[in-house]
Amino acid sequence: MNKEKFNEEQLDYLNKLLDERGLNVKWIGRQYLVNVVELVFFNSNLMLSFNTKVFPEVAKIYGTKDINVEKSVRNAILKSEYKKNNYTTTKMFVMDLVQKLKLFSLNGLAELTN
């Protein structure tokens, strides 16, 4: 599996997006979600393999079971203010974050080259 990591600016932006969506920094589901978004960001094919690849990979990082990762991520999204106002699935929520991060990353590169 791809071991690429977010740079500091990307991670800060992701945390800002999660804060805006009402995901409490103390929730383990939010911590797992950061890793889920990171995996999908660097390998978009994983969007089709949440249960078979993404959640098990995050579970390995934290030494837990993939079902715990899936439930914690889902519960964090369900408890967030974002879920109360925008009815989405976990995949839609992650895809929204990944798209915003990709735009952020592209805009950052554009600013560096101008």
pLDDT at 114 over 60: no
pLDDT tens, position by position, 90-113: 888 899 999 999 999 888 654 433
- Rounded distance, CA 90 to CA 33, Å? 10
| Fold adopted by 8-106 | Arc Repressor Mutant, subunit A (1.10.10)
77-85 CB contacts, 8 Å cutoff, 24+ apart:
77/23, 77/29, 77/33, 79/22, 79/23, 79/24, 79/27, 80/21, 80/22, 80/23, 81/21, 81/22, 82/20, 82/21, 82/22, 82/23
Tell me the percentage of the chain whose pLDDT exceeds 90: 64
Helix, strand, coil abundance in the chain, percent, nearest 5: 80, 0, 20
DSSP 8-state secondary structure symbol assigned to residue 26: T
Distance between CA atoms of residues 41 and 53, nearest Å: 14
Q: What is the pTM of this model?
A: 0.87
Domain spans in the chain, listed from the N-terminal domain onward: 8-106
